[in-house]
Homo-oligomer: A and B are copies of this chain.
Amino acid sequence: MKIAVDAMGGDHGAAVTVPASLQALASSASIKHLFLFGREPDIEAALNTSELLQASPKLSDRISIVHTDHVVDMTAKPADVLRQRQETSMYLALKAVAEGNADACVSAGNTGALVGLARHCCGLLDGIKRLAICAQLPTSRSNTFLLDVGGNVDCSGEQLHQFARMGCALVNALDSHTQSRVRALSIGAEAGKGNSAVNQAVELCEADPTLNFEGLIEGNQLLNGDCDVVFCDGFVGNIALKSCEGTASYIGASVHELLAAQPASVLQSSVQLMRSIDPEKFNGAVLLGLKRPVIKSHGSSGAVGFAAAIQKAVDTSQGRLIEKLEFALN
């Protein structure tokens, strides 16, 4: 398994992506080689300060740097990025995957640019109208995947039904023993409680013998672990996911403040708690609908999160995501 990493993407660039890549290499023997795309001096600097690399110098045999001068700016307009089509770290990493030189691509860069370039470089699977971005919800109770959390505002019922099928294919790639339980995100549990697109998608899902569709789910049940795949349009999904994240971070800060004055043993437990609900562990959203596996890391993610995104690239690739998507879409 070869992984192409956009080393310049995200809020912290190589300072996060390089240590994370080394961590991923150290913990996953499945990664035969990892390509770091970006500015060589930045990447070298991060490699040179790595304690992990000093302790395990052999890791460097499994790393190559592919130098590029250009980087996609985090605030660049996707349309401009697509039009210019510069040899950026993101573009070259995607191209490596598209041309078969790597099995999967990971980037923490500009989401809109990644979606546009991934679509351009890797192509869409037959029958796919829109890419969906599928995130794992930050709950330790189970693995629940939410899609679309990206930019597909104003989706049709047909598209939502396609998201349901693609989400199940992803869960199946990550855990082939699971017969995915699918639900539609809505504002009530009873049938008919959706907006018009959701209501139409529910009809399609109910009539679809390949899906294990269990009806509607409300926002307050997202973290209950009662299902494997929750689908919605990208506007709703993005807001739902970020509402969960914002609340977790608000309460996390309050807990931290509260416990700062407590004895060290208590503080230790608090750190453990916050670690157990740390969204970083679940980082790495999968772009579904492409002919190749592409993973989007949170832009603000630290090394733990970016390493989790790399691991998701490995897992989806090993789980033969693309084959399963093709099967699900037929």
Contact = CB atoms under 8 A, between A and B. Distances in A.
Contact of A153 (B194, B240, B248, B262): B194
A186 B154 CA distance: 13
B153 A196 contact: yes
Copies in the complex: 2
Determine the interface band of chain A, counting residues with CB < 8 A from chain B.
35 or more
Nearest to A195: B153
Interface in A243-259: 243-252, 254-255, 258-259
Contacts of A219: 238-246
A288 to B, nearest CB: 18
Contact of A273 (B241, B242, B255, B277): B255
B250 A139 contact: yes
Interface in A203-244: 218-224, 232, 234-236, 238-244
A243 B258 contact: no
A232 B41 CA distance: 46
Contacts of A185: 239
A276 B255 CA distance: 11
Contact of A238 (B151, B187, B232, B235): B187
Nearest to A269: B258
A269 B262 contact: yes
A162 B245 CA distance: 29
A52 interface: no
A266 interface: yes
B246 A222 contact: yes
Given A153-B187, A153-B195, A273-B255, A246 B220 contact: yes
A124 to B, nearest CB: 22
B251 A248 contact: yes
A251 B276 CA distance: 10
A235 B233 CA distance: 11
A63 to B, nearest CB: 34
Interface of A: 139, 141, 151, 153-154, 185-187, 194-196, 198, 218-224, 232, 234-236, 238-252, 254-255, 258-259, 261-262, 266, 269-270, 272-273, 276-277
